[in-house]
């Protein structure tokens, strides 16, 4: 216990042990937010056939050459081609097929004349719209006057102009957001193989903890850690389960954790990791799995969050992160260690939050203990237009129990180990905490 | 139909009609990501009692005055005070109570000596830790040697030092992220009144549409819009329901929409809003609710996404946004109009995406139609450290069917109506699309 670890050493130890979850096949919408593990090839070119980009008339270009409003080309309308129609009419010389956006270009036709360049079959001037099929079935017959010529292929989206069969639509490692889900749907994939969202089980410990909404007894406080950590794990991309508060009793805690392992890809505990006589998390986590547990408890050169535990337990070597119990310590520890672990389980390329440099806006200089990396809570304002740097103002004090101040913060201010003093206006590193 | 609306006019019309949803009371974790509608006052000060910030011994300061390792103060240990204990011993002169972090300071005691400043009751030199209660119940008796004095209140967190009873913990309008959920739990709130997540029903239309995973027939394509829009609505904060593709048949579409209204706070359709003879969305949405529907169809001065519909339908005047059917048009329309509507329903203060200025990185100048606001897809790289602006490179062409290119983009490039040409290196407005 006397060796002190740096934040980076502890995180590296976690990341070198946590492996991405085994891939599973999911329905497309269930895979949203997950990382693809296969290169997905395009089975069929998109669009799969030449099709119209406009509502109008499919024609042969020679038939409308030189046409104008005064001397329109008059064509015989041989029918409709609606989107989705498989049975296409053949457009012969002097003919036109009324065609809808997205419908296949019928054989014989070489281009599409938009309806606005015609009389719409009404025998008058240019029209702006077609009459609805349901109210005017006759619109697909008779004659149409075309007022402008079209070139070969005009208003036609050629087969394969979006993607060609055989091309890689998305590469392994791609994060599936809405547009990527859309592309997979467009090429016909109903399911896809991804790394699933990790299931994170959150257990807070402490005999003093009472569930919110219940009555506080003497010496008791409300359990907030299990709520913060469950919510934060969800924001990080996990499916999170809040077990709630377990009392400082070794047997209860041991059986709770053993029970939960079945549904956990990661276990997060808070509390009971310090040097006290009732720190049962430390006691229990070195014994889970018949004593073969390998959870190590460490002192980190950081503030808040000094005592931390990490190891792999149970038959599946499930990673467990044991965080300190002070609410702010627990949340800062989550951000620094649990979030990267969740994202490593997901196979995300980038597991750490982005950082930014900001000007410190404060009335008095900040002090920090030499040899300790300090994480203050801050209110961060990103750079205004044209500026390179934002500003950050510390919120609340350094006390690790100031959960009220934490709720006003939107960033951590990261003060390096060697820094002992930062004067107003100096530049600092911030970690914005936006979801 | 001949009047043309600007993007802003159409959005303003939507936002002036869409009202925030009625508040409901939710369990704390279900309220994550929602907006609070009440000022939440602190019912009980935090911490609710003076408590120890360290594991150690609760003492009277006079008893340890002048103590050092050579001449320790020797105190009688009268018992343990664990966190959560309501029954506190009284610390008399010459006595100490072993105390754990978070435990209430017992009457008589004025400060806490950390265990590291004592012999831990073992009669030797300074210790680093306490022996676990379960392995050594005797640690709470006998004598302890204290090696350093403490001041009044040292290592004690006074009652109310975090928040005081009566203070406003969180104001109405606060978005509930993990720290805010944590603060509400800490002050004992098990439920909270928020605006719920809107339920968004997504219907795509088109007889050519086939569900991904099924066999494509001639003239058919896969339905991707219902997937993109469902995923995007979820990313925007909604609970989204994908109804899937409905054929271009007015009766089917009408009954589908009427059926869905029961679970919809917002209906989004794609396709069938253009000028073609089969554009049944337009036909139907002016008739839902016995002809009293008020959905208006418009031409917008934008590219892609020209045809748009918006109105309120059904007994609850449910907002419906009818988007064009081209996949890229549908997605861009979602970003510009549906996302703000979803966030307005949630009561979010800011309904629009943030924008940034970026340098255009392109080999050739971009052209844009005069009088049309164009939204190109781009790959945006945020500013490097110390830089004020990022760079953006257009991805794919202007074609509204290039869904493959959309899946490579992470931003929209917003080209104003009057701009017709942008040369490489010029500054443009981008809309980053990060979730």
Residue in B with minimal Cα distance to A45: B221
> Which residues of chain B neighbour A87 with C-beta distances below 8 Å?
218
Residue whose C-alpha is closest to residue A183's, from A312, A69, A75, A36:
A36
Tokens at B62, concatenated: 């006079």
Q: How far is B88 from chain A (nearest CA, A)?
A: 9
> Which residues of chain A neighbour B194 with C-beta distances below 8 Å?
none
Contact between B231 and A48 using a beta-carbon 8 Å cutoff: no
Torsion from C-alpha of B282, B286, B289, B292, nearest 10 degrees: 170
> Which residues of chain A neighbour B389 with C-beta distances below 8 Å?
386
- Average of per-residue pLDDT across A125-132: 80
Residue in B with minimal Cα distance to A212: B188
* CATH classification (class only), B356-432: mainly beta
Q: What is the pLDDT of residue A282?
A: 83
Q: What is the pLDDT of residue A1?
A: 42
Taking every pair of Cα atoms in chain B, the longest distance, rounded to a whole number of angstroms, is 99
- Average of per-residue pLDDT across A206-229: 95
| Tens-place pLDDT, residues B310-331 | 999 988 999 999 999 989 999 9
Q: How far is B188 from chain A (nearest CA, A)?
A: 4
- Average of per-residue pLDDT across B360-374: 94
Provide, rounded to the nearest whole percent, the portion of chain A with pLDDT above 90: 77
Contact between A221 and B325 using a beta-carbon 8 Å cutoff: no
Greater confidence (B162 vs A344) lies with: A344
- Average of per-residue pLDDT across B358-379: 94
Q: How far is A85 from chain B (nearest CA, A)?
A: 5
pLDDT bin (cut points 50, 70, 90) of residue A365 is very high
Q: In this complex, which of B102, B234, B274 lies closest to A55 when CB atoms are compared?
A: B274
| Tens-place pLDDT, residues A77-96 | 999 998 888 889 999 999 99
User: In Å, how far are B12, B35, B342 from B352, measured between CA atoms?
Assistant: 12, 16, 10
Q: In this complex, which of A247, A386, A404 lies closest to B163 when CB atoms are compared?
A: A404
| Tens-place pLDDT, residues B122-131 | 888 888 877 7
Second CATH level (architecture) for the domain A24-47+170-195: Alpha-Beta Complex (3.90)
Q: Is A28's pLDDT higher than 60?
A: yes
Contact between B403 and A83 using a beta-carbon 8 Å cutoff: no
In angstroms, the CA A182 to CA A53 distance is 20
Q: In this complex, which of A190, A214, A276 lies closest to B101 when CB atoms are compared?
A: A276
User: Which residue shows structure tokens 């969180």?
Assistant: B170
Torsion from C-alpha of B165, A328, A214, B175, nearest 10 degrees: 80
Q: In this complex, which of A87, A227, A277 lies closest to B98 when CB atoms are compared?
A: A277
In a 3-state reduction of DSSP, which class is residue A200? strand
Q: How far is B127 from chain A (nearest CA, A)?
A: 10
A-facing residues of B in 231-260 (CB < 8 A) are 231-232, 234-235, 242, 247-248, 250
Greater confidence (A2 vs B301) lies with: B301
Residue whose C-alpha is closest to residue B433's, from B415, B408, B401, B411:
B411
Provide, rounded to the nearest whole percent, the portion of chain B with pLDDT above 70: 94
Q: In this complex, which of B102, B276, B435 lies closest to A177 when CB atoms are compared?
A: B435
Q: What is the pLDDT of residue A403?
A: 81
B-facing residues of A in 93-112 (CB < 8 A) are 98, 100-104
Contact between A218 and B86 using a beta-carbon 8 Å cutoff: yes
Q: How far is A222 from chain B (nearest CA, A)?
A: 5
Q: In this complex, which of A182, A217, A402 lies closest to B228 when CB atoms are compared?
A: A182
Q: Is A385's pLDDT higher than 90?
A: no
Contact of A260 with A284, CB cutoff 8 Å: no
Q: In this complex, which of B161, B231, B389 lies closest to A178 when CB atoms are compared?
A: B231
Tokens at B96, concatenated: 């100490």
Residue whose C-alpha is closest to residue A242's, from B182, B377, B324, B189:
B182
Contact of B388 with B374, CB cutoff 8 Å: no
> Which residues of chain A neighbour B134 with C-beta distances below 8 Å?
250, 280, 283
Q: Is A295's pLDDT higher than 70?
A: yes
Q: What is the pLDDT of residue B6?
A: 97
CATH number of B51-157: 2.170.190.11
Contact between B100 and A277 using a beta-carbon 8 Å cutoff: yes
Contact between B212 and A224 using a beta-carbon 8 Å cutoff: no
pLDDT bin (cut points 50, 70, 90) of residue B10 is very high
Q: Is B419's pLDDT higher than 80?
A: yes
Q: Is A139's pLDDT higher than 50?
A: yes
Q: How far is A428 from chain B (nearest CA, A)?
A: 12
Q: What is the pLDDT of residue B300?
A: 96
Q: How far is A275 from chain B (nearest CA, A)?
A: 5
Q: Is B289's pLDDT higher than 70?
A: no
Contact of A313 with A267, CB cutoff 8 Å: yes
CATH number of B24-43+172-195: 3.90.105.10
In angstroms, the CA B321 to CA B316 distance is 15
- Average of per-residue pLDDT across A336-358: 96
> Which residues of chain A neighbour B29 with C-beta distances below 8 Å?
227, 230-231, 242
**Angle CA A107–A108–A112, to nearest 5:** 90
Contact between B231 and A401 using a beta-carbon 8 Å cutoff: no
Q: How far is A39 from chain B (nearest CA, A)?
A: 14
A-facing residues of B in 16-75 (CB < 8 A) are 28-29, 32-33, 44, 46-49, 53, 55
Q: Is A393's pLDDT higher than 70?
A: yes
Q: Is B309's pLDDT higher than 80?
A: yes
Average pLDDT, chain B: 92
Contact between A103 and B217 using a beta-carbon 8 Å cutoff: no
Tokens at A204, concatenated: 């807070």
In a 3-state reduction of DSSP, which class is residue B353? coil
In a 3-state reduction of DSSP, which class is residue A289? coil
| Mutation to test the A interface, candidates B179, B190, B327, most A Cβ within 10 Å | B179
Q: In this complex, which of A162, A210, A231 lies closest to B403 when CB atoms are compared?
A: A162
Tokens at B135, concatenated: 């392995």
Q: What is the pLDDT of residue B1?
A: 42
Greater confidence (A2 vs B311) lies with: B311
Q: Domain ranges in chain A?
A: 4-21+197-346, 24-47+170-195, 51-157, 356-432
Q: How far is B213 from chain A (nearest CA, A)?
A: 4
Average pLDDT, chain A: 92
Q: In this complex, which of A104, A129, A388 lies closest to B387 when CB atoms are compared?
A: A388
Q: In this complex, which of A116, A129, A178 lies closest to B235 when CB atoms are compared?
A: A178
Secondary structure of A238-274 in HEC code, one letter for each residue: CEEEEEEEECCCHHHHHHHHHHHHHHCCEEEEECCCC
Residue in B with minimal Cα distance to A167: B404
Contact between B169 and A404 using a beta-carbon 8 Å cutoff: yes
CATH number of A4-21+197-346: 3.40.980.10
Tokens at A192, concatenated: 């896809």
B-facing residues of A in 310-369 (CB < 8 A) are 325-327, 331, 357
pLDDT bin (cut points 50, 70, 90) of residue B2 is low
Q: Number of CB pairs < 8 Å for A and B?
A: 372
Residue in B with minimal Cα distance to A30: B231
| Tens-place pLDDT, residues A103-112 | 999 999 999 9
pLDDT bin (cut points 50, 70, 90) of residue B403 is confident
A-facing residues of B in 370-409 (CB < 8 A) are 383, 385-389, 399, 401-404, 406-407, 409
């Amino acid at each position: 216990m006397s060796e002190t670890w740096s934040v980076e050493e502890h995180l590296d130890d976690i990341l070198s042990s946590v492996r991405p979850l085994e891939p599973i096949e999911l329905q497309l919408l269930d895979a949203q937010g997950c990382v693809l593990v296969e290169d997905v090839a395009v089975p069929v070119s998109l669009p799969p056939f030449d099709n119209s980009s406009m509502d109008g008339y499919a024609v042969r270009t020679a038939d409308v050459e030189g046409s104008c409003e005064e001397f329109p080309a008059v064509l015989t309308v041989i029918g409709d081609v609606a989107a989705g129609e498989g049975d296409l009419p053949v457009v012969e010389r002097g003919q036109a097929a009324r065609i809808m956006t997205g419908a296949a270009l019928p054989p014989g036709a070489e281009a599409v004349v938009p309806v606005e360049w015609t009389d719409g079959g009404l025998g008058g001037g240019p029209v702006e719209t077609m009459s609805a099929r349901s109210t005017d079935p006759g619109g697909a017959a008779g004659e149409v006057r075309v007022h402008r010529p079209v070139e070969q292929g005009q208003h036609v989206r050629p087969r394969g102009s979006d993607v060609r069969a055989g091309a890689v639509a998305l590469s392994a490692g791609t994060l599936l957001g809405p547009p990527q889900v859309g592309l997979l749907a467009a090429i016909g994939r109903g399911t896809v193989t991804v790394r699933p969202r990790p299931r994170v089980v959150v257990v807070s410990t402490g005999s003093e903890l009472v569930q919110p909404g219940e009555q506080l007894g003497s010496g008791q406080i409300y359990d907030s850690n299990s709520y913060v950590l469950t919510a934060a794990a969800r924001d990080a991309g996990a499916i999170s389960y809040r077990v709630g508060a377990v009392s400082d009793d070794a047997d209860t805690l041991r059986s709770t954790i053993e029970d939960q392992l079945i549904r956990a890809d990661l276990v997060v505990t808070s509390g009971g990791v310090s040097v006290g006589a009732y720190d049962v998390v430390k006691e229990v986590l070195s014994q889970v799995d018949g004593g073969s547990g390998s959870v190590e408890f460490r002192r980190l050169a950081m503030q808040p969050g000094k005592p931390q535990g990490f190891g792999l337990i149970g038959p599946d070597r499930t990673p467990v992160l044991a965080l300190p119990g002070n609410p702010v310590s627990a949340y800062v520890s989550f951000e620094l260690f649990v979030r990267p672990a969740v994202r490593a389980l997901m196979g995300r390329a980038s597991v750490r939050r982005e950082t930014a440099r900001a000007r410190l806006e404060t009335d008095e200089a900040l002090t920090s203990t030499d040899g300790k990396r300090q994480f203050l809570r801050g209110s961060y304002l990103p750079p205004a237009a044209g500026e390179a740097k934002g500003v950050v103002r510390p919120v609340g004090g350094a006390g690790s129990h100031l959960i009220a101040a934490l709720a006003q913060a939107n960033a951590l201010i990261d003060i390096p180990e060697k820094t002992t003093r930062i004067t107003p206006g100096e530049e600092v590193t911030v970690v914005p905490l936006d979801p």
